[in-house]
Amino acid sequence: MKALGPIPAGYEAIDGVLAVAGRPVTEWVEEAGETPLFLYSADLIRARVAQLRAAMPEQLALHYAVKANPFGPVLELFSGLVDGFDIASGGELALVQAAGIASARVSFAGPGKRDRELEAAIAAGVTLNLESEAEAWRAIAIAETLGMTPRLAIRVNPSFDLKGSGMKMGGGAKQFGIDAERVPALAREIVAAGAEWRGFHIFAGSQALDASAIADTQAQAIALAAQLAQESGIAVPHCNLGGGMGIPYFPGDMPVDVTLVGERLAEQFAALPDELRETEFCMELGRYLVGEAGVYVTRIVDRKVSHGEVFLVTDGGLHHQLAASGNFGTVVRRNYPVAIATRYGAEVEEEASVVGCLCTPLDRLADKAGFPQADVGDLVAVFCAGAYGASASPSAFLGQGAAVELLV
């Protein structure tokens, strides 16, 4: 039997059924009218932000990385909880605008920004985190045509990466950011061109669980920002330290010790070099803020046995849960936290695989794991579904379409 990932804190059973936001998932399914269904708990999101704020130095601003979960009601909730929003496309700009989020709170990173995306962002007053020199010249030219002053920051490709991170976004040759040694010259040219200089964005990796590795990376980012400020002779109004804090998805994963990260960052802030005394710092986080607040609920439509192995066939699958199927940035497939939601907390009775309804062997939500005996009609819950689920899965595959999403 293969182990399942750890179920996040904050979930309980009501009469043997998994509850989200105080109500059994069966009621939410009834309300939604169908499965599969994503449920996002507003209380769990609020609690996560509050817990993080309590651990971090007060002067650290928190940004939400929209790509983790761009569902409108989730963005509206975050509008009252975090300081800023990081977007990575013109489409995400439209989503934050639709959620009523002021553009002055938004920064736009990401390679390959098209002219019309730059234009929309500059016109709205969004800060651009520039990914190349060529992008800087295009932005400045577009701003001139618009008669606007662009707000420009440089995304730095640091020479270090975040140790133990699931996705490395810095160190060596990368499509992200501008190599650190070329940054001071560009910063001077941006200021000379009359742009509003916003500082640096230094993002070294994502999905790390090791607090001391995260703290080391933040210290390196602060040292790099100071060095770049000194070399360019230009002050740094704002410095985005990146994110990197991950969540436990797999058996044996432990949550990030955010208290340690906060203490180490407070030490850094207490000993800032002169160049950074006036700098505002922020962290940008996606999955850490929403991942564990989401559950994907799907219904068992068939139960079959093949060569002695039990398969629970659901009406969901990788078209909504690419990451849980093991096909989004993982090398070795391991099980996410998955449970039979309508027999929540019941004893393990058998080994079974939970599969989806797609015609591909990749469509597996849990592999040879232990479950209470489940039948057609039972609901399955996939946890850690709040980030990179609905928006990062190929919902058009096999004509399936999107799942319902509810913020509850």
Is 384 near ligand PLP (CB under 6 A)?
no
Q: Which stretch, 34-42, 100-108, 141-149, 278-286, contacts ligand PLP (CB under 6 A)?
A: 278-286
CB of 401 to ligand PLP, least distance (A): 25
Is 154 near ligand PLP (CB under 6 A)?
no
Pattern of binders to ligand PLP over 2-41, x per CB under 6 A? Answer: ----------------------------------------
259-263's contacts with Cβ under 8 Å and 24+ in sequence apart are: 259/55, 260/211, 260/212, 260/215, 261/55, 261/56, 261/211, 261/214, 261/215, 261/218, 262/55, 262/56, 262/57
Q: Nearer Cβ to ligand PLP, position 107 or 268?
A: 107
Pattern of binders to ligand PLP over 99-128, x per CB under 6 A? Answer: ----------x-------------------
- Size of residue set near ligand PLP by CB under 6 A: 16
Q: Among candidates 52, 4, 5, 12, which has minimal Cα distance to 284?
A: 52
Figure out which of the listed residues 226, 374, 387, 406 binds ligand PLP, where binding follows CB under 6 A: 387
Cβ-contact 182, 137 below 8 angstroms: no
* Amino acid identity for residue 398 in this structure: L
Figure out which of the listed residues 45, 86, 150, 204 binds ligand PLP, where binding follows CB under 6 A: 86
Pattern of binders to ligand PLP over 285-304, x per CB under 6 A? Answer: xxxx----------------
Residue 84's H or E segment, with its range, is strand 84-87
Helix (H, G, I), strand (E, B) or coil at 205: strand
Q: Nearer Cβ to ligand PLP, position 69 or 298?
A: 69
CB of 203 to ligand PLP, least distance (A): 4
CA distance 331 to 328: 9
Is 283 near ligand PLP (CB under 6 A)?
no
Residues 6+ apart with CB under 8 A from 75: 64, 66, 85, 95, 96, 99, 101
Check if 359 is active-site. yes
CB of 389 to ligand PLP, least distance (A): 12
CB of 68 to ligand PLP, least distance (A): 4
Is 405 near ligand PLP (CB under 6 A)?
no
* Amino acid identity for residue 195 in this structure: A
CA distance 88 to 66: 8
DSSP characters over 228-246:
HHHHHT---SEEE----B-
CA distance 239 to 198: 8
Is 131 near ligand PLP (CB under 6 A)?
no
Q: Nearer Cβ to ligand PLP, position 262 or 286?
A: 286
Q: Among candidates 145, 136, 242, 138, which has minimal Cα distance to 197?
A: 136
CB of 169 to ligand PLP, least distance (A): 6
Is 190 near ligand PLP (CB under 6 A)?
no
Q: Nearer Cβ to ligand PLP, position 16 or 166?
A: 166
Compute and round to an integer the Cα radius of gyration of the chain: 22
Is 64 near ligand PLP (CB under 6 A)?
no
CA–chain centroid gap for 158, Å, is 21
Figure out which of the listed residues 117, 119, 131, 284 binds ligand PLP, where binding follows CB under 6 A: 284
CB of 89 to ligand PLP, least distance (A): 11
* Torsion angles phi and psi, residue 36, rounded to 5: -70, 165
Q: Contact residues for ligand PLP (CB under 6 A)? A: 65, 67-68, 86, 88, 109, 203, 206-207, 243, 284-288, 387
